[in-house]
Amino acid sequence: DAGVIQSPRHEVTEMGQEVTLRCKPISGHNSLFWYRQTMMRGLELLIYFNNNVPIDDSGMPEDRFSAKMPNASFSTLKIQPSEPRDSAVYFCASSLSRGSETQYFGPGTRLLVL
Amino acid sequence: EDQVTQSPEALRLQEGESSSLNCSYTVSGLRGLFWYRQDPGKGPEFLFTLYSAGEEKEKERLKATLTKKESFLHITAPKPEDSATYLCAVPGSGGSNYKLTFGKGTLLTVNP
């Protein structure tokens, strides 16, 4: 079975540009998570969707960050405008249902903002 | 606020040299604990979930144990392919049980 799919795997952009990260969760999973990983702060939850509805976006750092989930098989995380401090690895994860079910992670998108 | 601390930050072993990684946590009430493995350039890969003190789970050379205040990941006779960063995480309380708090991880290197 295919796991969580993310694209692109690597993104290099200049400060001020718009960045869009994409995620396809595991089929049948109802919960989707976006995380950011940095050396300083480790893994941090940015936003959580359940049944395509955003439930908790308290981890989204600023209004420059937005996320959508138009259907059960696709989600995007957008940064506009991007800044150098946004450089990190962004992971998407999905789980079978709401609650403390096991979360399965994608391979991540490594973002570098120059 | 839940806190998760992993030690050591880094561990270097010789092939076959058994050891343990520690994950200690301060939570209002244990709701489970997850262990993940992360290889360079990849996403965390799920290993184990432990739900109650005294519980143990095994997978190949790895065994995870849980007490009321900490969890251990025991590695028996490790091989170079066990080299990775090992992360533990605890879920939030009540309606936030989807929210995992991760430790910073232990970087394990196993030399041949």
pLDDT at B31: 81
Give the nearest chain B residue to A103 (CA atoms).
B46
**pLDDT one-digit tens code per residue, B20-47:** 999 999 877 778 899 999 999 999 999 9
Q: Report the percent of chain B where pLDDT is more than 70.
A: 100
pLDDT at B68: 87
Q: Report the percent of chain B where pLDDT is more than 90.
A: 79
Whether the CB-CB separation of B26 and B3 falls below 8 Å is answered with yes
Helix (H, G, I), strand (E, B) or coil at B92: coil
Residues of B in contact with A106 (CB under 8 A): 43
B93 confidence band (pLDDT: 50, 70, 90): confident
b/e map of B94-110 (b: 16 or more CB within 10 Å)?
Answer: eebbbbbbbbbbbbbeb
Give the nearest chain B residue to A90 (CA atoms).
B43
**Domains within chain B, CATH numbers bracketed:** 3-107 (2.60.40.10)
* Closest CA relative to residue B44, chosen from A4, A22, A52, A60: A4
CA distance B3 to chain A (A): 13
Question: How many helices and strands (H and E) does chain A possess?
Answer: 0, 11
For residues B84-101, give the mean pLDDT: 90
Residues of B in contact with A55 (CB under 8 A): 98
CA distance B5 to chain A (A): 12
Of A45, A104, A105, the CB nearest to B99: A45
B97 confidence band (pLDDT: 50, 70, 90): confident
pLDDT at A92: 98
- Extract the residue ranges of chain A whose pLDDT is less than 70: 1, 100
The C-alpha atoms of residue B49 and residue B72 are separated, in whole angstroms, by: 12
pLDDT at A1: 65
- Interface A-B: count of C-beta contacts within 8 A: 53
- The length of chain B, given as a count of residues: 112
Residues of A in contact with B42 (CB under 8 A): 107-108
